[in-house]
Amino acid sequence: MPSDESVFSAAVGILYVTCPLIFLYLQFCTVPYGRHARPGWGPPLPPAAAWFLIESPTIWLTLLLLPHGRHLSHPLALAIISPFLLHYLNRTVVYPIRLLRSGTKAGFPLSVAAVGFCFNLLNAYAQTRSVTHYAHYPPAGDVGCRVPVGMAVNVSSDLALLRLKNTAGGGYKVPEGGWFELVACPNYMGEAAEWLGWAVAASTPAALAFFLYTCANLFPRASSHRRWYLQNFGHRYPPSRKSIIPFVF
């Protein structure tokens, strides 16, 4: 039976290998959920149930693994794993509840949800074992402001989009105000900034791999969102808005 260390190394390696693969794949295929939903990807799930399924391993697997970390009592390990859990508590519980209340109707393919579930199994294992067991910590450290600021942008932008769906009867409108004046997907921008800050704070290969995967996944989808807005709203959508990085991309 392989040791935990070999399993951990393999998990981190898989994260790095999948980054360029997923980035290349998403140049040619937009994953079919949300505004990009289309038939042919298997039976649909209600969006709230799908997101709960996808994100749930980051809660239950992380909590199962925590007691087995040799650094569990280290204050820096606790400071780093806490925002990870807080982010995914929002994604696993709070966000699905808000989806239910928003009246979102587009189905979420079971096949896509299954892939997301498997990724989060892998990532929750890699990040939790990295932070609480395999990392090397100095006597003190600082998580920094990037994580809470990034999370605030991510959550507030998600909320703004859900409010728009409420006013549009479950459909879509051109978002306005705040970061939406600069980019099509400030929620993705905030999430990328959040995991950049987390990777800097954790300073582990696993955390860096997670940040790179986040970018490989979200940057192409942000571009797809921007194209969708331009195609569906035409001149009503400001062409000066970038996809995910203000004034750049």
Residue pLDDT, tens place only, 137-172: 765 445 455 456 555 666 676 666 666 655 545 568
Task: Give residue for tokens 């970038």.
Answer: 242
**Minimum mean pLDDT among 91-95, 106-110, 122-126, 222-226: which range?**
106-110
72 phi, psi to nearest 5 deg: -55, -35
Cα(96)–Cα(104) distance, integer angstroms? 10
- pLDDT of 179 higher than 70: yes
State residue 225's pLDDT score.
96
**Minimum mean pLDDT among 14-18, 22-26, 160-164: which range?**
160-164
Compute how many other C-beta atoms are within 10 angstroms of the C-beta atom of residue 9.
Answer: 16
Cα(225)–Cα(229) distance, integer angstroms? 6
Q: What is the pLDDT of residues 107-122, one digit of tens each?
A: 899 999 999 999 999 9
- Using an 8 Å Cβ cutoff, are 201 and 151 in contact? no
Task: Give residue for tokens 């509840």.
Answer: 97
Q: What is the pLDDT of residues 35-67, one digit of tens each?
A: 998 888 999 999 999 999 999 999 999 999 999
State residue 145's pLDDT score.
54
Which class for 20: exposed (0-12), middle (13-18), buried (19 or more C-beta within 10 A)? exposed
- Using an 8 Å Cβ cutoff, are 47 and 106 in contact? yes
State residue 183's pLDDT score.
94
Q: What is the pLDDT of residues 70-83, one digit of tens each?
A: 998 888 899 899 98
- Using an 8 Å Cβ cutoff, are 41 and 106 in contact? no
Percent of the chain whose pLDDT exceeds 90: 64
Going by the DSSP 8-state scheme, the letter that residue 44 receives in this structure is E
